[in-house]
Structure 1
């Protein structure tokens, strides 16, 4: 079977390379490498504001990854900004929420990574805790700068996630926010401090989201599961 096409949402921000320093649509290459390693074809999806763009994109891909990035606009879940909430991008929020709606309409497999998990919860009508250290009393989930926190998570027995990564796994985290409520999803992994680190759909559809960054370790379990779900979604 042909390799399925996996859409990856991107950042849009100032970036520098070569002689250029300008606005760019970009994503760390680890995402594409992880998809390719799992047997998929990565396709970057920068924010688009045209009507029906999300529906047209979803009709042409076999699975969707909502990537990591800046905080979600707290107005999207009816909250005032915490003093540590910053940098939200309305155009990216709108684009990814539209992609999730379009994906729901056709049952497209979806994987959320870090911000992606938070946005999936908000899209479903859930809410976020805007600064996790306020709840757990430490910064282990986001040590600061470009450093990932090494966090042990325990998965829910019998869950799809447990099938893909096992009962307990060390993961790379970089999130100062976390999911507080997640209608339509079940919490399937927690850190030792109780933070919800993953959720999956309560239905049979392949919708899974994690707070950690599997792409930084080319984590084969999650991406392999997504690519397999993409193949099954497109099978006649």
Structure 2
């Protein structure tokens, strides 16, 4: 009888120990998983020699790191399936600035002052954005990235602001040596942009000769410059699809202006929600 009781006790204790060990092990796995940084994919032009990146791309990398996330440089894609496979490796996406978008994407012929587009990048960013919107990924578009959002959603662009839009505001240094700066007003206090920056009046950098003309479907303008140029919008019905005409990455990493850091921190937070 004593042997039976002793052996039974041993079995019970072993079962309890096994349960506790397994629970602790599972907890450790969950904790490690939660500590993994949010991965933010950065669309970029193409591979650079020896793994180097341009100064512009580095600003995005540094801003993402400063926001406590992990930057991932995305390779180029040529189809929706490739874009889908790529999106599965990250939690959120940034569409970066750059050269003009080929006007064929919004059914226009090139303006005489339009700059040479890059076909491979147009194709890649087009599929990346279209798929990200379809799958409701968090997306931030800056400058060209914002303009691409507008085009993908059926909008059009002024192909050359100085000749197509009369204004006293300079949106790009004629010498193309440095950023110009101008006022920007957030006109929608219910917007994500206002929620991030907590201010109506901003001073933003600018380096663009193109801008939003006809607004794309379901886009809501959230900020404008004094001359009426669209400086920010967001896609209604999406979890987080926000476009800004300025370059918050240069404000954060170039000018050390943390006023704009919440843009990247909020993208990180939505990326974490997307992961779950």
Whether TM exceeds 0.5 here: the answer is yes
Within-5 A mapping of 1:21-100: 26=54, 27-49=56-78, 52-100=81-129
* CA shift for structure 1 position 169: 1.0
After TM superposition, the score normalised by the length of structure 2 is 0.78
Q: Tell me, yes or no, if structure 1 residue 201 matches structure 2 residue 235.
A: yes
After TM superposition, the score normalised by the length of structure 1 is 0.90
Q: Tell me, yes or no, if structure 1 residue 177 matches structure 2 residue 206.
A: no
Bigger share in helix: 2
Q: Are the equivalent residues in 2 in contact too, given 1:142–1:175 (CA < 8 A)?
A: yes
Structure-2 residue corresponding to 1:116: 145
The separation in 2 between residues aligned to 1:87 and 1:102, in whole angstroms, is 25
Q: Tell me, yes or no, if structure 1 residue 146 matches structure 2 residue 177.
A: yes
* CA shift for structure 1 position 28: 2.6
Bigger share in strand: 1
Structure-2 residue corresponding to 1:191: 225
Structure 1 segments of 4+ aligned residues over 4 angstroms from their partners: 24-27
Helix, strand or coil at the partner of 1:142: coil
The separation in 2 between residues aligned to 1:28 and 1:138, in whole angstroms, is 30
Structure-1 residue corresponding to 2:167: 137
Q: Tell me, yes or no, if structure 1 residue 4 matches structure 2 residue 55.
A: no
* CA shift for structure 1 position 139: 5.9
Query: 1:125 and 1:50, CA in 2 relative to 1: closer, same or farther beyond 3 A?
Result: closer
Which of the pair has more CA radius of gyration? 2
| Worse-matched range after superposition: 223-232 or 138-147 | 138-147
Q: 1:163 aligns with which of 179, 195, 213?
A: 195
Q: 1:223 aligns with which of 264, 270, 275?
A: 264
Structure-1 residue corresponding to 2:4: none
Q: Are the equivalent residues in 2 in contact too, given 1:10–1:25 (CA < 8 A)?
A: no
Deviation string 1:119-146 (CA, Å, 9 cap, x unpaired) is 0111111111111223133461111313
The separation in 1 between residues aligned to 2:69 and 2:153, in whole angstroms, is 27
The separation in 2 between residues aligned to 1:111 and 1:228, in whole angstroms, is 13
The separation in 1 between residues aligned to 2:155 and 2:79, in whole angstroms, is 27
Helix, strand or coil at the partner of 1:57: helix
Q: Are the equivalent residues in 2 in contact too, given 1:69–1:115 (CA < 8 A)?
A: yes
The separation in 2 between residues aligned to 1:138 and 1:73, in whole angstroms, is 27
**Number of aligned residue pairs:** 229
* CA shift for structure 1 position 25: 6.6
Helix, strand or coil at the partner of 2:268: helix
| Worse-matched range after superposition: 67-76 or 134-143 | 134-143
